[in-house]
Chains A and B, each alone.
Chain A
Amino acid sequence: MTLLKAQARGIPTPSPSVHSQPYWDGCREERLLFQRCASCGFSALRPSTVCASCRGTSMAWEQSAGFGSLYSWTVVWRPPDPSFSVPYAPAIVRLDEEFWLMSAIIGCQADDLHDGMRVGVMFHPVSDSVTLPYFSPLDPV
């Protein structure tokens, strides 16, 4: 059995752009922010200045409650570089506010992961300036 855990400091950290900075600022304050189009309600896969659905320019930041369902995952045993501790479980989470997020699952065994598993956000600092959102099971597994 192998408990999935958050990574220690030393992993590669993001270089935010002017458009994504609000997202990372939110994470540091343990608030999960996402963009939604004020005109049509569409949420994009990454921060942008234009709505990919209605092509309007009214993308606005909102705060997520941080709950969602597991959509897909992998368990990595050979990391892209040695700074990562294995195993870890990159995952796509479908948040209840109907947006997709790339993250990783922690706080359970790799064998516990299953389609639609209810998960909640857990914030974990990986450097002095970067806090990462991870997700953990909401229900006992």
Chain B
Amino acid sequence: MHPHPFGDVAIAGVYNTPQARRLPDHTSTSIALAGAVGALADARISPGEVDGVVGPASAEIALELGLGPCTRRPSGLGIPAVLDAAALIVTGQCSVVVVAAGGAGVHTDATSTAPWTRPANELVVSYGLFTAAEFALMARRHMLTYGTTSEQMATVAASIRNNGHVNPEAIYFGRGPFTADDILASRMVADPFHLLDCATTSEGGCALVLVAADRASDTPAPVWILGGASDSFGPAYMVPPVWDFRARHGGECFGRVGAQAARASFAMAGLTPDDVDVAELYDPFSFEIIRQLETFGFCPEGEGGAFVNDGNIAPDGRLPVTTDGGTMSFSHAGVSAQQLQRVIRAAQQLRGSCATRQVEGAEVAMSSNGGAGALFCDVLLLGKERP
């Protein structure tokens, strides 16, 4: 089999700015810019070498860092942005690409949920739907079909929140430790989700630097792209999130969004779920972890609840999950940064540079983005060694 061209792309730099509930001195652009500067310093690459910028503030970063004329891709969230950056490199359009994102000063109305959680679409707006309710409709169907329980979901939330509890860089550092009972005792938001089953909201920025393989040899700690793909069924939060709905005859249903992307990613990498040492899974709601574990093939469909109950996702388990605290405890700065942060944490695990919850000897890491309630799910596999 020919090696996939992504094998010629390295992630040479990663950086998280300080994350906080509020960063009053920043805008979304300025905190993304701070992320870009930090990631370039981490890679020991001069900003003058950058010839591509990807992310919501790509044009602004090109201007502020004086990078023009350069390539910019304004769209792309998280893993799709990383895949776009890798494609720019393997097609020879760019040689050093910064992927940056940030959120600050966006969520200022405390009487409402964050603006990015509230869909305005005509078919859902009057029914009071928001992200928690959309994901709850998926979780409920899984509970009815497979007997998945609130206690199993709470076990996920406690595990991830405890990873944040010990992480000094997490906005909820020191807020635990949590037991599943603590999660179940928090107030109900959208049944079956209690407050502590849900992501928090915060502010912060982050960035990655991607380079071609020949440039990576001069950087201190490159990690490698083994495979990646994206699944989407349509726009998020505009139509009923029906678990069993199939857009194609014989295709995957909405509830298994990400299954095809995972299969494609593993095929690109020549790996299986058994090869993954650590999974930096996107955790907007506790149930979504259970769903992804099934959908990505770490356990059979319907057995995700039992898989987490058996301790598999704990720091000393078979598959440590979301080791920095994720969107529940580390940070959730809008629509984009926290998705890139799953990739950043996976890179840090492979470097062996995590100050807390380092998975010893990790050689293959998975990252994911999105989730069933949003009708999209992205997968990325990273490796310590060049494929």
Contacts and interface: CB of A to CB of B under 8 A. Distances in A.
B239 A92 contact: no
Contacts of B188: 75, 77-78
Contacts of A20: 122-123
B239 A102 contact: yes
B136 interface: yes
16 contacts: A11-B128, A12-B125, A15-B122, A20-B122, A45-B242, A52-B247, A72-B144, A74-B137, A78-B187, A78-B195, A92-B241, A100-B240, A102-B124, A102-B129, A104-B128, A132-B126
Given A77-B189, A92-B240, A13 B125 contact: yes
Contact of A88 (B123, B128, B137): B128
B122 A103 contact: no
B117 interface: yes
Interface in A1-34: 7, 11-17, 20, 24
Interface string A62-101: 0000000001111111111110100010111000000011
Contacts, number: 118
B239 A80 contact: no
A71 B242 contact: yes
Nearest to B111: A82
B369 to A, nearest CB: 22
A82 B195 CA distance: 17
Interface string B137-174: 11011001000000000000000000000000000000
Interface of B: 111-113, 117-118, 120, 122-130, 132-133, 136-138, 140-141, 144, 187-193, 195, 234, 238-243, 245, 247
B112 A80 contact: yes
A52 B133 CA distance: 26
Leading 10 A-B pairs by shortest Cβ distance: A14-B122, A74-B136, A80-B130, A45-B239, A75-B191, A102-B240, A81-B112, A78-B189, A84-B128, A80-B118
Interface size class of A (residues with CB under 8 A): 35 or more
A88 B133 CA distance: 11
Contacts of A71: 141, 242
Contacts of A17: 122
Contact of A73 (B125, B140, B243, B245): B140
A60 interface: no
A74 B126 contact: no
A90 B133 contact: yes
A108 interface: no
A45 B245 contact: yes
A113 to B, nearest CB: 9
Contacts of B247: 52
Contact of B129 (A7, A82, A90): A90
Contacts of B191: 74-77, 110
A13 B138 CA distance: 24
Contacts of B190: 74-78
A12 B245 contact: no
Most buried by B among A72, A74, A101, A115: A74
Given A77-B187, A82-B111, 4 more contacts: A90-B129, A90-B133, A92-B241, A102-B239
B81 to A, nearest CB: 27
